[in-house]
Structure 1
Amino acid sequence: MEIHIGNRVADVSLLGKEGNKVRLCIDGEEHEVDIVMAENGACSLLHDGHSYNAELIRSEGGKNYQVNTFFSSYSVDIIDSQAKYLRMRRNSEEKQGDKIISPMPGKVVKIPVGEGDRLVAGDIVAVIEAMKMQSNYKVSSDCVVREILVKEGDTVNGNQVLMTLDVINQEENAEGTNIQEV
Structure 2
Amino acid sequence: MEIHIGNRIADIQLISKDGNNVVLSIDGKEFEIDVVMAENGSCSILHDGKSFNAQLIRQEDGKTYQVDTHMSSFKVNIVDSQAKYLQMRKKTSETPEDKIASPMAGKVISIPVTKGQEVKAGDVLIIVEAMKMQNSYKASSNGTVKEILVQEGDTINSNQVLITLDLFKE
TM norm. shorter chain > 0.5? yes
- CA distance in structure 1 between the aligned counterparts of 2:53 and 2:74, rounded to whole angstroms: 13
Q: How does 1:78-117 map to 2 (within 5 A)?
A: 78-96=78-96, 99-104=97-102, 106=108, 107-110=110-113
- CA distance in structure 1 between the aligned counterparts of 2:70 and 2:53, rounded to whole angstroms: 8
Residues 1:164 and 2:161 are matched in the alignment? no
Q: Deviations over 1:110-157 (max 9, x none)?
A: 58x966x9x8xxx44554323334454232xxx7x4x53147xx6597
Which consecutive unaligned segments of at least 5 residues does structure 1 have?
A: 169-182
Q: Is the CA contact (8 Å cut-off) linking 1:54 and 1:67 kept in structure 2?
A: yes
- CA distance in structure 2 between the aligned counterparts of 1:2 and 1:133, rounded to whole angstroms: 16
Count of paired positions: 154
Q: How does 1:53-64 map to 2 (within 5 A)?
A: 53-64=53-64
The amino acid that maps onto 1:19 is G
Matched-pair identity in % = 42
- CA distance in structure 2 between the aligned counterparts of 1:50 and 1:126, rounded to whole angstroms: 48
CA positional deviation for 1:81: 1.9
Which consecutive unaligned segments of at least 5 residues does structure 2 have?
A: none
Q: Is the CA contact (8 Å cut-off) linking 1:53 and 1:70 kept in structure 2?
A: yes
Q: Is the CA contact (8 Å cut-off) linking 2:145 and 2:163 kept in structure 1?
A: no
Task: Give the aligned partner of residue 70 of structure 1.
Answer: 70
SS of aligned partner of 1:149 = strand
Q: Deviations over 1:19-54 (max 9, x none)?
A: 211111111111111111112111111111111111
Task: Give the aligned partner of residue 174 of structure 1.
Answer: none
Residues 1:149 and 2:151 are matched in the alignment? no
Normalising by structure 1, what TM-score? 0.68
The more displaced of 126-135 and 154-163 is 154-163
Task: Give the aligned partner of residue 3 of structure 2.
Answer: 3
Q: Is the CA contact (8 Å cut-off) linking 2:3 and 2:79 kept in structure 1?
A: yes
Task: Give the aligned partner of residue 38 of structure 1.
Answer: 38
